[in-house]
Amino acid sequence: MALPTLLLTRPSESAEAFAATLDPAARAAVHILIAPLMDIAGTGVAVALEAGEGAIFTSANGVRFAPDGGGRRAFCVGSQTTTRAEARGWQAVQAGDTAEQLVKTLRAQPPGLPLWHLGGEHTIGDIAEKLSADGIPTYHLTLYHQRLLSLPSAALLALGAPCILPVFSQRTAQSLVEQAGNQLSHANVIALSESVAVPFDGKTTAKCLILPAPQAIYMRKAVENLCLTLSLP
Protein backbone atom coordinates (compact mmCIF):
# COMPACT_ATOMS: atom_id res chain seq x y z
CA MET A 1 0.00 0.00 0.00
CA ALA A 2 1.31 3.44 -0.92
CA LEU A 3 2.21 5.66 1.98
CA PRO A 4 0.05 8.72 2.62
CA THR A 5 1.74 12.05 1.95
CA LEU A 6 2.56 14.65 4.55
CA LEU A 7 2.28 17.83 2.49
CA LEU A 8 4.14 20.76 4.05
CA THR A 9 3.41 24.12 2.44
CA ARG A 10 5.39 26.37 4.79
CA PRO A 11 8.54 28.14 3.53
CA SER A 12 11.25 25.54 2.95
CA GLU A 13 13.34 26.30 6.03
CA SER A 14 10.33 26.23 8.35
CA ALA A 15 8.93 23.10 6.71
CA GLU A 16 12.21 21.24 7.07
CA ALA A 17 12.54 22.31 10.70
CA PHE A 18 8.99 21.13 11.44
CA ALA A 19 9.55 17.76 9.76
CA ALA A 20 12.71 17.28 11.82
CA THR A 21 10.73 17.61 15.07
CA LEU A 22 8.41 14.70 14.22
CA ASP A 23 8.80 11.33 15.85
CA PRO A 24 10.85 9.00 13.59
CA ALA A 25 8.01 6.45 13.53
CA ALA A 26 5.63 9.11 12.23
CA ARG A 27 8.09 10.24 9.56
CA ALA A 28 8.62 6.66 8.42
CA ALA A 29 4.86 6.16 8.04
CA VAL A 30 4.43 8.86 5.38
CA HIS A 31 5.98 10.32 2.29
CA ILE A 32 7.06 13.86 3.14
CA LEU A 33 6.61 16.43 0.38
CA ILE A 34 7.75 20.01 0.94
CA ALA A 35 5.89 22.34 -1.42
CA PRO A 36 6.20 25.93 -0.17
CA LEU A 37 3.29 28.24 -0.88
CA MET A 38 5.15 31.25 0.43
CA ASP A 39 8.58 32.75 0.04
CA ILE A 40 10.06 34.96 2.76
CA ALA A 41 12.46 37.74 1.74
CA GLY A 42 13.88 40.56 3.82
CA THR A 43 13.10 44.15 2.87
CA GLY A 44 16.54 45.40 3.92
CA VAL A 45 14.96 48.09 6.09
CA ALA A 46 17.34 49.30 8.78
CA VAL A 47 16.10 49.06 12.36
CA ALA A 48 17.47 51.47 14.94
CA LEU A 49 15.57 51.26 18.19
CA GLU A 50 16.35 53.69 20.97
CA ALA A 51 17.29 52.45 24.42
CA GLY A 52 13.85 53.31 25.77
CA GLU A 53 11.89 51.48 23.08
CA GLY A 54 10.73 47.87 22.87
CA ALA A 55 9.64 45.40 20.23
CA ILE A 56 6.72 43.17 19.40
CA PHE A 57 7.38 39.91 17.57
CA THR A 58 4.50 37.87 16.21
CA SER A 59 6.66 35.41 14.27
CA ALA A 60 10.12 33.89 14.22
CA ASN A 61 10.76 35.63 10.89
CA GLY A 62 10.37 38.98 12.63
CA VAL A 63 13.15 37.97 15.01
CA ARG A 64 15.20 36.65 12.11
CA PHE A 65 15.27 39.98 10.28
CA ALA A 66 15.47 42.18 13.38
CA PRO A 67 18.74 43.31 14.94
CA ASP A 68 20.06 41.83 18.17
CA GLY A 69 18.07 42.95 21.17
CA GLY A 70 20.86 44.32 23.32
CA GLY A 71 18.75 43.71 26.40
CA ARG A 72 15.73 45.65 25.12
CA ARG A 73 12.29 44.37 26.02
CA ALA A 74 10.27 42.32 23.55
CA PHE A 75 6.71 41.05 23.74
CA CYS A 76 6.14 37.91 21.71
CA VAL A 77 3.44 35.65 20.33
CA GLY A 78 4.17 31.97 20.94
CA SER A 79 6.86 30.10 22.80
CA GLN A 80 9.11 29.50 19.78
CA THR A 81 9.19 33.17 18.85
CA THR A 82 9.94 34.05 22.47
CA THR A 83 12.79 31.55 22.64
CA ARG A 84 14.32 32.87 19.42
CA ALA A 85 14.06 36.45 20.63
CA GLU A 86 15.82 35.52 23.87
CA ALA A 87 18.60 33.88 21.85
CA ARG A 88 19.06 37.15 19.94
CA GLY A 89 19.56 39.17 23.12
CA TRP A 90 16.04 40.45 23.68
CA GLN A 91 14.51 40.55 27.15
CA ALA A 92 11.61 38.57 25.78
CA VAL A 93 8.34 37.53 27.37
CA GLN A 94 5.53 35.51 25.85
CA ALA A 95 2.48 37.78 25.85
CA GLY A 96 0.07 35.22 24.34
CA ASP A 97 -0.39 32.57 21.70
CA THR A 98 -2.17 34.90 19.27
CA ALA A 99 -2.06 38.56 18.24
CA GLU A 100 -5.40 39.05 19.99
CA GLN A 101 -4.02 37.66 23.25
CA LEU A 102 -0.92 39.85 22.99
CA VAL A 103 -3.05 42.98 22.61
CA LYS A 104 -5.15 41.94 25.59
CA THR A 105 -2.04 41.35 27.71
CA LEU A 106 -0.48 44.71 26.89
CA ARG A 107 -3.75 46.53 27.47
CA ALA A 108 -3.97 44.97 30.95
CA GLN A 109 -0.30 45.63 31.72
CA PRO A 110 0.92 48.63 29.67
CA PRO A 111 4.69 48.38 29.18
CA GLY A 112 5.31 52.08 29.68
CA LEU A 113 7.49 52.48 26.59
CA PRO A 114 6.99 52.93 22.83
CA LEU A 115 6.84 49.68 20.88
CA TRP A 116 7.79 48.63 17.36
CA HIS A 117 6.00 45.70 15.79
CA LEU A 118 8.84 44.21 13.74
CA GLY A 119 7.06 41.94 11.32
CA GLY A 120 6.02 41.13 7.80
CA GLU A 121 4.25 42.99 5.06
CA HIS A 122 1.06 41.06 5.84
CA THR A 123 0.06 40.94 9.50
CA ILE A 124 -3.06 40.05 11.42
CA GLY A 125 -4.71 41.64 14.41
CA ASP A 126 -4.04 45.34 13.68
CA ILE A 127 -1.72 45.34 16.68
CA ALA A 128 -0.12 48.77 16.19
CA GLU A 129 -3.44 50.48 15.54
CA LYS A 130 -5.22 48.91 18.51
CA LEU A 131 -2.44 49.55 21.03
CA SER A 132 -1.87 53.11 19.83
CA ALA A 133 -5.59 53.80 20.20
CA ASP A 134 -5.29 52.66 23.81
CA GLY A 135 -2.46 55.06 24.55
CA ILE A 136 0.43 52.64 24.01
CA PRO A 137 2.48 54.20 21.15
CA THR A 138 3.10 51.35 18.74
CA TYR A 139 4.48 51.40 15.19
CA HIS A 140 4.69 48.70 12.55
CA LEU A 141 7.89 48.23 10.58
CA THR A 142 7.93 45.82 7.63
CA LEU A 143 11.08 43.70 7.79
CA TYR A 144 10.11 41.02 5.25
CA HIS A 145 7.84 40.27 2.32
CA GLN A 146 5.63 37.17 2.11
CA ARG A 147 5.30 36.30 -1.58
CA LEU A 148 2.73 33.63 -2.46
CA LEU A 149 3.90 30.81 -4.72
CA SER A 150 2.15 28.43 -7.09
CA LEU A 151 1.32 24.95 -5.88
CA PRO A 152 3.69 22.60 -7.74
CA SER A 153 2.37 19.73 -9.83
CA ALA A 154 3.75 17.17 -7.35
CA ALA A 155 1.60 18.70 -4.62
CA LEU A 156 -1.51 18.68 -6.80
CA LEU A 157 -0.85 15.02 -7.55
CA ALA A 158 -0.44 14.27 -3.84
CA LEU A 159 -3.85 15.82 -3.14
CA GLY A 160 -5.41 13.11 -5.30
CA ALA A 161 -4.64 10.48 -2.64
CA PRO A 162 -4.75 10.35 1.19
CA CYS A 163 -2.61 13.14 2.57
CA ILE A 164 -2.03 15.15 5.73
CA LEU A 165 -2.11 18.90 5.34
CA PRO A 166 -1.00 21.04 8.30
CA VAL A 167 -1.84 24.71 7.68
CA PHE A 168 -0.30 27.51 9.75
CA SER A 169 -1.69 30.76 8.31
CA GLN A 170 -4.99 31.98 6.90
CA ARG A 171 -3.29 33.57 3.89
CA THR A 172 -1.62 30.28 2.97
CA ALA A 173 -4.88 28.42 3.56
CA GLN A 174 -6.74 30.77 1.22
CA SER A 175 -4.11 30.38 -1.49
CA LEU A 176 -4.18 26.60 -1.10
CA VAL A 177 -7.95 26.42 -1.41
CA GLU A 178 -7.95 28.65 -4.49
CA GLN A 179 -5.26 26.63 -6.24
CA ALA A 180 -6.46 23.17 -5.23
CA GLY A 181 -10.03 23.82 -6.30
CA ASN A 182 -12.09 20.68 -5.66
CA GLN A 183 -9.08 18.45 -5.06
CA LEU A 184 -9.22 18.46 -1.25
CA SER A 185 -11.49 15.46 -0.68
CA HIS A 186 -8.53 13.26 0.32
CA ALA A 187 -6.87 15.94 2.47
CA ASN A 188 -6.74 15.61 6.25
CA VAL A 189 -6.41 19.28 7.14
CA ILE A 190 -4.98 20.38 10.48
CA ALA A 191 -5.56 24.10 11.02
CA LEU A 192 -3.52 26.05 13.55
CA SER A 193 -6.58 28.03 14.64
CA GLU A 194 -10.21 28.73 13.82
CA SER A 195 -9.22 31.69 11.64
CA VAL A 196 -6.81 29.50 9.67
CA ALA A 197 -9.62 27.01 9.08
CA VAL A 198 -12.02 29.62 7.65
CA PRO A 199 -10.98 29.18 3.96
CA PHE A 200 -11.92 25.48 4.22
CA ASP A 201 -15.52 26.26 5.22
CA GLY A 202 -17.86 24.62 2.73
CA LYS A 203 -15.03 22.64 1.11
CA THR A 204 -15.07 18.86 1.00
CA THR A 205 -12.11 17.45 2.91
CA ALA A 206 -11.39 14.05 4.42
CA LYS A 207 -11.06 15.79 7.78
CA CYS A 208 -10.54 19.30 9.12
CA LEU A 209 -9.11 19.47 12.61
CA ILE A 210 -8.65 22.72 14.53
CA LEU A 211 -6.01 22.74 17.25
CA PRO A 212 -7.14 23.50 20.83
CA ALA A 213 -4.52 26.27 20.93
CA PRO A 214 -2.17 27.63 18.23
CA GLN A 215 0.93 26.01 19.68
CA ALA A 216 3.66 24.04 17.94
CA ILE A 217 3.38 21.08 20.31
CA TYR A 218 -0.31 20.59 19.45
CA MET A 219 0.41 20.74 15.74
CA ARG A 220 3.26 18.26 16.07
CA LYS A 221 1.17 15.79 18.07
CA ALA A 222 -1.80 16.08 15.70
CA VAL A 223 0.42 15.47 12.67
CA GLU A 224 2.16 12.52 14.32
CA ASN A 225 -1.16 10.91 15.25
CA LEU A 226 -2.48 11.22 11.70
CA CYS A 227 0.76 9.94 10.19
CA LEU A 228 0.48 6.77 12.26
CA THR A 229 -3.28 6.20 11.87
CA LEU A 230 -3.54 6.92 8.14
CA SER A 231 -0.73 4.49 7.38
CA LEU A 232 -2.55 1.59 9.06
CA PRO A 233 -3.85 -1.06 6.63
Residue 217: CB atoms within 10 A of its CB come to: 12
Residue 232 is predicted with a pLDDT of: 67
| CATH number for the domain whose boundaries are 9-38+151-230 | 3.40.50
Task: List where CATH 3.40.50.10090 sits in the chain.
Answer: 46-146
Report the pLDDT value the prediction gives residue 50, as an integer from 0 to 100. 87
Q: Angle 82-86-89 (CA atoms, 0-180°, nearest 5)? A: 145
Burial of 152 (0-12, 13-18, 19+ CB in 10 A): middle
* pLDDT tens for the 233 residues of the chain, in order: 689 999 999 999 899 999 999 999 999 999 999 999 999 999 999 898 988 999 999 999 999 999 999 999 999 999 999 999 999 999 999 999 999 999 999 999 999 999 999 999 988 879 999 999 999 999 999 999 999 999 999 999 999 999 999 999 999 999 999 999 889 999 999 999 999 999 999 999 999 999 999 988 999 999 999 999 987 66
Strands of 73-76's sheet in order across: 38-42, 138-148, 115-120, 54-57, 73-76, 91-94
Of residues 109, 101, 117, 99, the one with CA closest to residue 134: 109
CA distances from 38 to 65, 131, 184, 198, 223 (A): 17, 29, 19, 19, 21
**How many Å apart are CA 124 and CA 47, to the nearest integer?**
21
pTM: 0.88
- CATH number for the segment(s) 46-146: 3.40.50.10090
pLDDT at 233: 62
